[in-house]
Chain A
């Protein structure tokens, strides 16, 4: 019989639905409505994991997101999920969970040897050792430490699940569907405001879900009221209620991220087409944070033993899941709330001893005693003992001051120890949004003290300690938020709460701040008193940090790692601050608090990435001819967001295909001797139009454009204001007011931005407008000596040299469609850049290829294009230039001269560094051995330079920017930037190459073929 700790009745569970699951391979069963944690407890399992540093056995402590210990690995393989909080995992049939950070098993973990070494492993021990022998020693220690550290194992492969994202806008976002949140949403919802109510749980109710049925609102059971309100909200068209949705981040201007677990609770493969998780990004005009309060542990010896739990959590397991985690329960508290737990446990059949740290008792003691609870006022548990589970507590009476133990020692056998160190407002989201906090000694916690505009807290998050106060606060906040959004909210009739066992002045009553429960030994000398369970930070560690001067809150946090575990200090934060204040002898307010950072609960990377993975990671831009290239088996290269054909390997007679080099060589020779066709559609294209277009381009480019006649083209070079080369391209003047500007493929977007910026901010007086037409035009460049005769039959434009000379533009029909043809050349051969509306691009391509097939026309790719232009010494911006290159470096100083006025970047060219004679200049390089092709990116040194050696510097003269084997010249060629290179032409240099022998070369002019440019003009 399993589920030995399950009571025969009660709880919000579906007893008809039995769910099988495994924990560390053991088959167990739970019930519908269970969490993994409640199911484990129902099966009598308390021990669930091992701690981070000492590998101490640890059990379930809490009920929800605050849980520091019960971290498990769910599933396996690529669908595994490490570090899942058992308290937040809804049980499903077939769930497989395993414990983490232990080897070989949970009960016998070799890592626990760290516990034996604990005396020499205080906070920050690693800063004091592992420094030798030798400077490299740390890498050895680190190897071992890395394997000891970490928590769960990561998934082994690509995530099989899908994640989605949604945007939402609302007037009011309410975080938390407890009594305050429901009241706020109801008040605002009835006013007509658009409300989103989000809560981590699967059902509404908040902390009411963890309470018994003796709470009531307006005469009906509190949970019935909550369900009724939820139903009313669900019926309002202006209200959206999100379940299983954690508000993770609260950013500027009430921008929130909310993490919805859509199908996690169904189990793998049962999502029915729905995503696993969904990330909401919500912009809310107003927000009400009704995130409740969190109970704090007490800091005492052995407080980390499995079976030591938060009092409220224990009550929650009883009421919500009908799980009586222990039969012999000791409770220790500094406030009234544990009395309610003790009474409920006692009534459910447990026998309870309640040690109240307060010496003056409470009116609730009588009710507890009446229920059979043994109440010990002014008593403390000085130590919890046990191995894999707490089995004994040591109780003593405390002195009035709380500083010492008096009276005899009492030992009690127990199977659960519950603790309550007081309740603190859950202010994480509020603080993320830069809400100010102040310390409230009555609550012994920080509470909201003034937030940014449009942000309110209500209920427990605002310090309310009774159900009535939570309801009142929720209504008020909801009404005020609705009013701030301009809605006339009808006042809600007051909601009347009934809450037994709660003193009139509030739920928790007086709280006695006992930051460290006095034990039988001074702090740091006896058994460990844990402050941060997961990271194994003890009160002694905090004391050591303070002693060593790490007493600023951030120093304490970083030095001890308290609050830095996966629970981000939800349980440990306040205790650490209280202890620090006590050690420093100052107030908690003076100590301050560390900054709360998003997210409130850890959010999967998958949800944050949403659909922006795989094929949707980044858009793939395709030219109209792309399909043809792919079908031909072209090798593709990535250029920005485009993919361009590198070359078009052809089938060989033996059935194989050409390699990249052979295909490129064939394509180059075809262009030089017959004709080739290049898909140049990716070139950036911008129309610059208006009466001042010429003036604008004159100011933007190095070159003159006011003198350019309509129908003519000119190469243009564009600089940054710092004088360095920004982009280049051909500019064609279509008529007096219209220019067709081309840019590099990668530079198109930036050049357009830059043009618009200048026109709007620098020269708003100029009448010129820019339009990106990159995607409007398909471009096929027909290049080679036979290109004129191939094109002539297909167009009504007169292609004769006299009618359509080099560097002009004509408009007419090509293949029956309107076209714009530029007679420009990047290959050095006679070329026609044919622009057609993009929708005709593929037809143009087919038409040209068909027309040229009997004249040897072949498609060519970017490899051949680069090679052809390098033979001609034409630069590629970004390859021959980088962000430091100025026109003179490229031999283009001539363009800059002349009578033209100012242009962008001109003034920078006359600064001293731009006039140095030893700047890197563009030259050619010829290897001594003509078949050796230099490596692009290789550095150039003097012929007698020493060989490179570690730690030695070899002076560099420059680097190889482009390098190819030229089929035209039947030898290798290279372009390079070399210091003072133009004056060194003819000199020998050496090019050392990693992984090979150095290459001897000589500096040459940067043009290797047809230096008169006759072919292009022919």
Chain B
């Protein structure tokens, strides 16, 4: 394994970069593993990495039906933040933010975590109350939060219009909020997990789950049967399909979520801006593209197809906040399949089948949680008991009624 650094880049320049090894092995599936993770996105790869690194698991595989990071990892708008209202969410997402901070160095892969600051705008009295409640809760949970006046918003975001149809009355700022490079997260975890002996198997679709005596035994895949002591399902939009193979249903709906980027321009937006009432979230990538999240359709769909009406709907709001963006152009739009739970919080923990664990339901906001999700899920699988931060997110909450409702206080886009 060659360590990545400026020095190694310079050294390889002398050999015309012809000696770089594969970032991860093209592993052939073995007949059996102690733990099999289904889903080679950021969450699944992170899970495998922490299983190997923190819990000493030696025989771990990640099965990916297509190419690593091809699901929502490679299709999201890369926003990172932890300023959630509910204590349970705040703990989980802040765990992730703390891991993000050291992640590039830990993985020896630059995931470009950029804590550039993230603003939630408030446009009316009720939104002011909402950011006050959330900001104070964040503060008491040890999470950074600051309230901005409209004048301060203008300093952070010079291109913004303060006095539109829905004037900006204030904002909540999380300085540690920001973005990261989505593909690099999958590739960095894959490379690091591979180094620890995890088999990463691409083009390996799971077609069946063998359950006997209430316990998971093996997976049927496009590349043969793979026996597994434990299985973690980390398949985002396809979680219900996999659960169906194991004989149970989940409180999930898989719906299309649209996003788009503009043509690249020189820096015009240095922070992430989110608005609930004017429904916009936008940031500018390092490449210069404005990355804009649009709404999610209400209907279930696996077609992963760009549709126009959601994109169109976002344009009025975007230009309402940023009138100078009107002459910029949409370069590309795409869709992901998001798995949404009734309370908009994830499901992490055991399933009705013994040995089969779930990590799904991240909806529109899973990317930011990637390191934390992988870490607590690895602990949950390794110890056969929910990690304390994962415990509130079990399936049982839907029976007891103890939902973790992040949308409760306001329709905050994730």
Q: Which residues of A contact B (CB under 8 A)?
A: 52, 78-83, 119-120, 122, 125-132, 135-136, 138-139, 142, 145-147, 149-159, 161, 163, 249, 251-252, 255, 257, 281, 432, 434, 524-525, 540, 544, 547-550, 552, 554-555, 558-559, 566, 568, 595, 597-599, 602-606, 608-610, 612-615, 617-618, 620, 637-639, 722-723, 878-879, 882-884, 908, 911-914, 935-939, 941, 948-954, 956, 959, 992-995
Q: Please name the residue on chain A nearest to B292 by beta carbon.
A: A605
Docked complex Cα distance between A643 and B61 (Å): 58
Does the CB pair B16–A524 fall under 8 Å?
Answer: yes
Q: Which residues of B contact A122 (CB under 8 A)?
A: 9, 17
Q: Which residues of B contact A432 (CB under 8 A)?
A: 306
Q: Which 8 A-B pairs have the closest CB atoms?
A: A937-B132, A150-B288, A883-B408, A159-B326, A602-B329, A158-B323, A937-B133, A612-B316
Q: Pull 5 A–B residue pairs with CB atoms less than 8 Å apart, ordered by A.
A: A249-B306, A252-B305, A597-B306, A913-B401, A936-B129
Known contacts A605-B315, A936-B129; is-contact A544 B326 (Cβ 8 Å): no
Docked complex Cα distance between A379 and B306 (Å): 45
Does the CB pair A146–B288 fall under 8 Å?
Answer: yes
Docked complex Cα distance between A615 and B323 (Å): 13
Does the CB pair B403–A139 fall under 8 Å?
Answer: no
Instruction: Specify which of A540, A878, A952 is in contact with B142 (CB 8 Å cutoff).
Output: A952
Contacts beyond the supplied A82-B328, A608-B311, A639-B124: 9 A-B pairs with Cβ under 8 Å: A52-B264, A78-B324, A79-B327, A82-B327, A127-B4, A151-B264, A618-B166, A938-B133, A954-B140
Known contacts A548-B23, A618-B166, A954-B140; is-contact A159 B16 (Cβ 8 Å): no
Does the CB pair A549–B408 fall under 8 Å?
Answer: no
Q: Which residues of A contact B74 (CB under 8 A)?
A: 554, 558
- Residue of A127, A252, A566, A949 with highest tally of chain B CB at under 10 A: A127
Q: Which residues of B contact A604 (CB under 8 A)?
A: 326-330
Q: Of B43-51, B331-339, B364-372, which stretch is located at the interface?
A: B331-339
Q: Which residues of B contact A908 (CB under 8 A)?
A: 401
Report the minimum CB–CB distance from B84 to chain A (whole Å): 13
Docked complex Cα distance between A350 and B307 (Å): 49
Q: Which residues of A contact B133 (CB under 8 A)?
A: 936-939, 959
Q: Of B106-114, B220-228, B355-363, B378-386, which stretch is located at the interface?
A: B106-114
Docked complex Cα distance between A598 and B261 (Å): 11
Instruction: Specify which of B5, B265, B268, B407 is in contact with A128 (CB 8 Å cutoff).
Output: B5
Docked complex Cα distance between A606 and B264 (Å): 16
Q: Please name the residue on chain A nearest to B134 by beta carbon.
A: A937
Report the minimum CB–CB distance from B169 to chain A (whole Å): 9
Q: Please name the residue on chain A nearest to B10 by beta carbon.
A: A120
Does the CB pair B123–A638 fall under 8 Å?
Answer: yes
Instruction: Specify which of A138, A992, A994 is in contact with B147 (CB 8 Å cutoff).
Output: A994
B257 close to chain A: CB less than 8 A: no
Instruction: Specify which of A554, A597, A617, A954 is in contact with B165 (CB 8 Å cutoff).
Output: A617
Number of A-B contacts (CB under 8 A): 335
Instruction: Specify which of A547, A558, A914 is in contact with B20 (CB 8 Å cutoff).
Output: A547
Q: Of B28-36, B182-190, B204-212, B240-248, which stretch is located at the interface?
A: B182-190
Q: What is the 8 Å Cβ interface bit string for chain B, positions 109-139, against chain A (1 contact, 0 not)?
A: 1101111100000011110111111111101
Q: Which residues of B contact A (CB under 8 A)?
A: 4-6, 8-10, 13, 16-18, 20-24, 26, 66-68, 70, 74, 87, 91, 101-102, 104-105, 108-110, 112-116, 123-126, 128-137, 139-142, 144-147, 159, 161, 164-167, 181, 183-184, 187-188, 202, 262-268, 284, 286-288, 305-308, 311-312, 315-320, 323-334, 342, 397, 399-403, 405, 407-409
Q: Please name the residue on chain B nearest to A546 by beta carbon.
A: B22
- Residue of B6, B16, B66, B146 with highest tally of chain A CB at under 10 A: B16
Does the CB pair A608–B330 fall under 8 Å?
Answer: yes
Q: Which residues of B contact A952 (CB under 8 A)?
A: 142
Known contacts A617-B316, A884-B403; is-contact A609 B326 (Cβ 8 Å): yes
Does the CB pair A950–B324 fall under 8 Å?
Answer: no
Instruction: Specify which of A120, A142, A147, A911 is in contact with B13 (CB 8 Å cutoff).
Output: A120
Does the CB pair B308–A281 fall under 8 Å?
Answer: yes
Docked complex Cα distance between A939 and B262 (Å): 40
Docked complex Cα distance between A672 and B8 (Å): 78
Q: Which residues of A contact B331 (CB under 8 A)?
A: 566, 568, 599, 602
Does the CB pair B9–A120 fall under 8 Å?
Answer: yes
Does the CB pair A549–B401 fall under 8 Å?
Answer: no
Docked complex Cα distance between A597 and B397 (Å): 40
Known contacts A540-B16, A911-B401; is-contact A605 B22 (Cβ 8 Å): no
Does the CB pair A146–B325 fall under 8 Å?
Answer: no
Q: Which residues of A contact B323 (CB under 8 A)?
A: 157-159, 613
Q: Which residues of B contact A951 (CB under 8 A)?
A: 142
Docked complex Cα distance between A571 and B316 (Å): 33
Does the CB pair B4–A128 fall under 8 Å?
Answer: yes
Q: Which residues of B contact A81 (CB under 8 A)?
A: 327
Interface of A is mostly: loop
Docked complex Cα distance between A254 and B212 (Å): 48
Q: Please name the residue on chain A nearest to B102 by beta carbon.
A: A135
Known contacts A129-B5, A612-B316; is-contact A879 B126 (Cβ 8 Å): yes
Q: Please name the residue on chain B nearest to A548 by beta carbon.
A: B23
Instruction: Specify which of A128, A130, A156 is in contact with B8 (CB 8 Å cutoff).
Output: A128
Report the minimum CB–CB distance from A749 to chain B (whole Å): 14
Report the minimum CB–CB distance from A914 to chain B (whole Å): 5
Instruction: Specify which of A135, A434, A548 is in contact with B105 (CB 8 Å cutoff).
Output: A135
Instruction: Specify which of B4, B114, B142, B325 is in contact with A605 (CB 8 Å cutoff).
Output: B325
Docked complex Cα distance between A949 and B140 (Å): 7
Q: Which residues of A contact B262 (CB under 8 A)?
A: 602, 605
Does the CB pair A127–B327 fall under 8 Å?
Answer: no
Does the CB pair A939–B136 fall under 8 Å?
Answer: yes
Instruction: Specify which of B20, B112, B147, B316 is in contact with A126 (CB 8 Å cutoff).
Output: B112
Known contacts A132-B105, A549-B24, A994-B135; is-contact A937 B327 (Cβ 8 Å): no
Does the CB pair A128–B145 fall under 8 Å?
Answer: no
Q: Please name the residue on chain A nearest to B182 by beta carbon.
A: A558
Docked complex Cα distance between A83 and B6 (Å): 32
Q: Please name the residue on chain A nearest to B108 by beta carbon.
A: A131
Known contacts A937-B131, A937-B135; is-contact A554 B315 (Cβ 8 Å): no
Does the CB pair A554–B326 fall under 8 Å?
Answer: no
Q: Which residues of B contact A136 (CB under 8 A)?
A: 115
Does the CB pair B184–A127 fall under 8 Å?
Answer: yes
Report the minimum CB–CB distance from A917 to chain B (whole Å): 14
Docked complex Cα distance between A953 and B140 (Å): 6
Q: Please name the residue on chain A nearest to B330 by beta carbon.
A: A603
Report the minimum CB–CB distance from A950 to chain B (whole Å): 6
Does the CB pair B328–A129 fall under 8 Å?
Answer: no
Q: Which residues of A contact B397 (CB under 8 A)?
A: 913
Known contacts A131-B110, A159-B327, A613-B320; is-contact A255 B308 (Cβ 8 Å): yes
Does the CB pair A138–B104 fall under 8 Å?
Answer: yes
- Residue of A151, A154, A525, A950 with highest tally of chain B CB at under 10 A: A154
Does the CB pair B324–A156 fall under 8 Å?
Answer: yes
Docked complex Cα distance between A128 and B7 (Å): 10
Docked complex Cα distance between A432 and B306 (Å): 9
Q: Which residues of B contact A150 (CB under 8 A)?
A: 264-267, 287-288
Q: Please name the residue on chain A nearest to B187 by beta carbon.
A: A127
Does the CB pair A151–B129 fall under 8 Å?
Answer: no
Known contacts A128-B8, A146-B267, A605-B329; is-contact A882 B135 (Cβ 8 Å): no
Docked complex Cα distance between A12 and B125 (Å): 62
Instruction: Specify which of B87, B263, B327 is in contact with A956 (CB 8 Å cutoff).
Output: B87
Q: Which residues of A contact B6 (CB under 8 A)?
A: 120, 129-130
Known contacts A142-B286, A548-B22, A602-B263; is-contact A950 B142 (Cβ 8 Å): yes
Q: Which residues of A contact B128 (CB under 8 A)?
A: 936-937
Instruction: Specify which of B129, B147, B161, B307 is in contact with A251 (CB 8 Å cutoff).
Output: B307
Does the CB pair A251–B165 fall under 8 Å?
Answer: no
Report the minimum CB–CB distance from B157 to chain A (whole Å): 13
Q: Which residues of A contact B137 (CB under 8 A)?
A: 939, 956, 959
Q: Which residues of A contact B268 (CB under 8 A)?
A: 154
Instruction: Specify which of A257, A547, A610, A617 is in contact with B308 (CB 8 Å cutoff).
Output: A257
